Amino acid sequence: MPGVLRLGGRTFGPDDLVVMAIVNRTPDSFFDRGATFAADSALRAVERAVEEGAEIVDIGGVKAGPGVEVDVAEEIRRTVGTIAAVRAAFPELVISIDTWRAEVAVEAVAAGADLLNDTWSGADPALAQVAARTGAGLVCSHAGGLSPRNRPHRAAFDDVVADVVRTVTGLAERAVSLGVRADGILIDPAHDFGKNTRHSLEITRRLGELAGTGWPLLVALSNKDFIGETLDLPVGERLEGTLAATAISAWLGARVFRAHQVRPTRRVLDMVAAVAGTRPPRLTRRGLA
């Protein structure tokens, strides 16, 4: 079936708009500042996300930006126990591990992860091989040529969207050639990664070109710097901008939405789907009595 995405025991159709909740086992996350670093806090955050409508949870152990060095052993320590606990508590939930390291991915999948969320554009080529061996899904992203945990400096592209399309489709095709399931692959333009604010805005405007590749499209927009700079707002005041970008992205063909605030994201996506005609209203009393 064209456009079907299979992750773990779940199958998502072309019209499904899916929330991927962010749960960071890090003390220095740019958004929550370590609120889910403790193991019990992380599990409570997963419980809350599921209650609010998340169908995927993305568990990460390393801050994306520069900061304290986190080696492989520490990343495994932060994430793998949590993945095992989440799998035990939520057998049907899709679990994603946010990592670029193959060694971490091996342990995460063994503990119950279904998806390898590589936000660093294949920095470790062996990561796709882990997906192929284990049957896990894989996110193929665009980091603008940056190595992990570096920020862009004077980022420049002749055509940023063309560069994104070329990179992510190339990674997806390589993954298939290695044996990764085609119906487990997503592409991600990776807003802000290796890009300036104007680049991220242009990518959002032209998301239809990425959706048009046929690969299921994931967007990670939540409270990012391009939203903060566009509106001149600090991290804690970017929800409205995030939701506006989310609605536009859904309308243009994105299917999975990585989010800190699950409930408002779920409601926005339900409204977009209702306007698009792919989801009926929950109530239809007005004008009928």
Measured CA to CA, the distance from residue 197 to residue 140 in angstroms comes to 21
Of 17, 36, 19, 39, whose CA–CA distance to 28 is shortest? 36
Where is 130: in which H helix or E strand?
Answer: helix 126-134
Measured CA to CA, the distance from residue 84 to residue 72 in angstroms comes to 18
Q: Give the position of tokens 């990674």.
A: 171
Measured CA to CA, the distance from residue 128 to residue 170 in angstroms comes to 13
The β-bridge relationship of strands 10-12 and 5-7 is antiparallel
Q: Which residues are catalytic?
A: 224, 258
The β-bridge relationship of strands 137-141 and 56-60 is unpaired
> Is residue 209 a contact partner of residue 165, using CB atoms and an 8 Å limit?
yes
- DSSP assignment of 195-245 equals --HHHHHHHHHTHHHHHTTSS-BEEE-TT-HHHHHHHT--GGG-HHHHHHH
Measured CA to CA, the distance from residue 156 to residue 45 in angstroms comes to 38
Q: Where are the beta strands (DSSP E) in the chain?
A: 5-7, 10-12, 18-24, 56-60, 94-98, 115-117, 137-141, 185-188, 218-220, 256-259
